[in-house]
A and B are shown apart, each in its own frame.
Chain A
Amino acid sequence: MNLNETLEIVSQTNPGMVRSHNEDSVTQDAVCGLVVLADGMGGYNAGEVASGIAVSVTTTEISQYLQHASPTDIDADSGDELGVVLLRDNIRKANSSIYHASQSQPQYSGMGTTIVAGLFYDNRVAVGHVGDSRMYRLRNGTLQAITRDHSLLQEQIDSGMITMEDARHSKNKNLVTRAVGIDAEVIPEIHVHKAQPGDIYLLCSDGLNDMLEDEDIESALYAMQSNLTLAAEQLIQMANDNGGRDNVSVILVKIKGEFAAPRRWLAKLFGWFKK
């Protein structure tokens, strides 16, 4: 199913005000409804190598697979929907690609990346993430994070050790507890959410949400929801105006209409009529 008509996607990435190079990578594939953002880490250019591998492996593999399969198909091995399985398996595949590159080439030693990926299908979005790159959703004017960081700070918030308010002032913002490509195996976190027409999804690297309060992101997205390109520029500009201490990347996805997957029996029926 071609989602080109139903989804409006805009992505932008910027090195920020301090860093000389950009270790973030973003890709989008409007036809199969896939967006991927990764924030690399590692010396020299290893960070951008890692994030580059992560987005290209996941995007290439998933879009190829979906040329002759539907994300709503049930995977026989796991019993899960194909959309979920594809995200999970390909984040793991990216993990082993990066891990092997870092094992075999000394200049890439220890490189890794965060990842957040969204696959839109059947009026839903499957979200896979590892690390502290986030997905937010703006619905009816309210912004809500729909991923939970794999970070030390989030663990401290969860355990009640530190309040959300104090967490804003924490100096431990940059420590992730999970990353792609660091170990031989990774556990991606996958959730499926219902998507509604009018929703705007924001994928971002921590260069955005470390520099801006959620309230600022919300008001900018809300005010500029009719012009996604401008909204993306505005978010990056706001992060840079506040210091832009890290690379800033955003992907915005607006749901313009319903995108229910054609039901199998219906598809078969149509197929039968076509004969």
Chain B
Amino acid sequence: MTAKLILSMDGVVIKEYPLSQERLTIGRKEHNDIVIDNLAVSGEHAAIITILHDSFLEDLDSTNGVEVNGVATKKHFLHNNDLIEIGKHKLKYITDEISQTSAADFEKTMLMRTPAKQAPSPAKAGDTSSFIKTQSVMAKPVDDKASEKTGKFEARAPIPVPAPPSPSPAAATAVPAAAIQILTGPNAGKELELVKNLTTLGKPGLQVAVLTRRPHGFFITHVEGATFPSVNGQVMGAQPLQMKNHDIIELAGVKMEFYLKG
């Protein structure tokens, strides 16, 4: 379970170092945990800080700097298989994938005790209330993403942005690309690529349905309105319906075709 660094030069592995201590130093001088005896390496060149399962690389103001995966960096949160380069030496960061059996334990919420909490003093109970602030101040606003909405299908065509890292990229990429082409109405001929996990169709207040992308395909679900959408002429029910290639959806008086791409 412990992560490790594999030191190599010119493709030849020199040594493995487990990241079992909180701070591990890399440098030319003898007192470092990883000693690289090369003049391109500073006396104290870099350090790896490990906190439980996470490790960070820090450049200790070295003369020649540190690169991670080809990019010069001062501080870096290490991912599995990251390649740290110090001069001609390379350090590969390996953190074991969590095995299936331990995955459940790993996800379990656990309390991290602070030393102060382990020795509760009688005074603690008295002054707790002073810590609690009652205020109507909001947390700092997050980035305004309101512009990235597809409120209705009249909205602009979605910009094909690279998908953000999702917790389970495998699940997201397994689904083939699909799109909706509008067949009738003022937007006839327009195409809407289904790049998001969730695409809204219809007019809010009148009739709304969503198309959701799931690991095993696309589904249409009725959300709002007295009339339910129909698929291939059949009015759908309250249950989500899986879409098939070339299904014709009709909602809010507009016909559109669902099709798989590529």
Cβ A213 vs Cβ B164 within 8 A: yes
- The answer, among A112, A162, A216, A226, for a CB contact under 8 Å with B223, is A226
Instruction: Using C-beta atoms within 8 Å of the partner chain, give the interface range for chain B.
Output: 35 or more
CA A177 to CA B138, docked complex, whole Å:
22
Bound CA–CA A190/B79 (angstroms): 36
Encoded as 1 (CB less than 8 Å from any B CB) or 0, chain A from 134 to 171 comes to 00000011111110100010001000011100101111
Binds A, one of B64-72, B129-137, B177-185, B241-249: B129-137
Is B9 an interface position by the 8 A CB rule? no
With a cutoff of 8 Å between Cβ atoms, the chain B residues found around residue A267 in the complex are: none
B210 contacts which chain A residues (CB < 8 A)?
Answer: 223-224, 234
Query: For chain A residues 205-256, which have a beta carbon within 8 Å of chain B?
Result: 206, 210-216, 218-220, 222-224, 226-227, 230, 234, 237-238, 241-243, 245-246
A189 touches B103 (CB 8 A): no
Asked if residues B53 and A187 are in contact (CB atoms below 8 Å), the reply is no
Using an 8 Å CB-CB cutoff, how does the interface string of A103-142 with B read, 1 for contact, 0 for none? 0000000001010000000001000000110000000111
Q: Is the beta-carbon distance between A230 and B110 smaller than 8 angstroms? A: no
B12 within 8 A of A: no
> Complex: how many Å from CA A179 to CA B197?
34
Cα separation A171 to B168 with both chains bound (whole Å) = 14
Kindly provide the distance from the CB of A47 to the nearest chain B CB, expressed in whole angstroms: 9
Q: Which A residues lie within 8 Å of B131 (CB)?
A: 187
In the assembled complex, the Cα of A84 lies from the Cα of B223 at a distance in Å of 36
- On whether A18 and B104 interact (CB within 8 A), knowing A177-B112, A184-B120, A191-B136, the answer reads yes
Interface residues of B in 79-126 (CB under 8 A from A): 79, 95, 98, 103-104, 106-114, 117, 120, 124-125
Interface residues of A (CB under 8 A from B): 18-19, 39, 41, 78, 80-81, 84, 88, 112, 114, 124, 131-132, 140-146, 148, 152, 156, 161-163, 166, 168-172, 174-179, 182-185, 187-194, 206, 210-216, 218-220, 222-224, 226-227, 230, 234, 237-238, 241-243, 245-246
Q: Can you show 29 pairs from A to B with CB atoms below 8 A apart?
A: A18-B103, A18-B107, A80-B134, A141-B146, A141-B149, A142-B145, A144-B141, A152-B112, A162-B56, A169-B79, A170-B54, A171-B53, A171-B106, A172-B51, A174-B107, A175-B112, A178-B111, A179-B111, A182-B113, A187-B132, A192-B134, A210-B167, A214-B142, A215-B148, A222-B149, A237-B214, A242-B166, A243-B171, A246-B107
B residues bordering A, Cβ < 8 Å?
51-54, 56, 77, 79, 95, 98, 103-104, 106-114, 117, 120, 124-125, 128-129, 131-139, 141-142, 144-146, 148-149, 164-168, 171, 196-198, 200, 204, 208, 210, 212, 214-215, 221, 223-224
Leading 10 A-B pairs by shortest Cβ distance = A171-B53, A166-B77, A226-B224, A223-B200, A175-B112, A242-B168, A245-B107, A141-B146, A179-B111, A41-B109
